Amino acid sequence: MAATSRDTGDRPRSAQRPAAQGERRADARRNIQAILDAAQLCLARDADASVADIAKAAGVGRVTLYGHFGTRADLVDAVLTRTVEQADAVLDATDTTGDPSQALARLVGASWQIVHQFRSVLQAAQRELPAERIRAVHDRILHRVQTIIDRGQRAGAFRDDLPKRWLVTTAFSLMHAAAEDSAAGRLDADDAARVISVTLLAALAAPGAAAATSTP
């Protein structure tokens, strides 16, 4: 249903078909990226941003947007897919082996901004897409942090007297809060990774451990 597949039967300007499967003119490819970029920014600011707002921000006409994305839900799904792919790429490139505390600090440093962007898009998606679709992508993100917390607990570095699910929630809520404070000018973006890591590791440290230090 997304622009990448283009096999949508009855659609406006349905005669528009690429010469080959998936093939497109350069201006069409440029517009699709511009629309996705604009949608990501607009939806992060306001989950109810209109299709007209997004088209304007992308510098294209509404009919052009509808030419590439059949419905608002199609567009939101495409943005969600792209956001997940971007998050996966960054997270795949992050070393999560070795000392759990240091691994978590690296993961936090690499992903705090993406995690927040992801959540903004997710909120918009929740209004348009089925709950299963939302859960599928949400769980993939959670899983990585959970794996490190599991390792940390087994190694005795992280506390195990609180629900594990809550520790994961704590990690995400601190990243989201930092992203919001940073966007609002209340927190220096350059300092955010350190601030989140110090706070999170202090919160997660096994009681009595000397892990609760000023800098990781």
Binding interface with a copy of itself (CB under 8 A): 48, 159, 161-163, 165-166, 169-170, 172-174, 176-178, 181, 186-187, 191, 195, 198-200, 202-205, 207-208, 212-214
Return the CA Rg of the chain. 20
Please tell me the total number of residues recorded for the chain in this structure: 216
Q: Least CB distance from residue 131 to DNA, whole Å?
A: 18
Per-residue binder mask for DNA (CB under 7 A), 23-52, x = binder: -xxxxx--x------------------xxx
Contacts (Cβ under 8 Å, ≥6 apart) of 63: 12, 13
Per-residue binder mask for DNA (CB under 7 A), 48-67, x = binder: --xxxx-----xxxxxx-xx
Q: Are the beta carbons of 142 and 168 closer than 8 angstroms?
A: yes
Per-residue binder mask for DNA (CB under 7 A), 72-91, x = binder: xx------------------
Q: 200: helix, coil or strand? A: helix
DSSP assignment of 28-46: HHHHHHHHHHHHHHHHHH-
Amino acid at 106: R
Q: Where do contacts with DNA occur on this chain (CB under 7 A)?
A: 10-13, 15-19, 24-28, 31, 50-53, 59-64, 66-68, 70-73
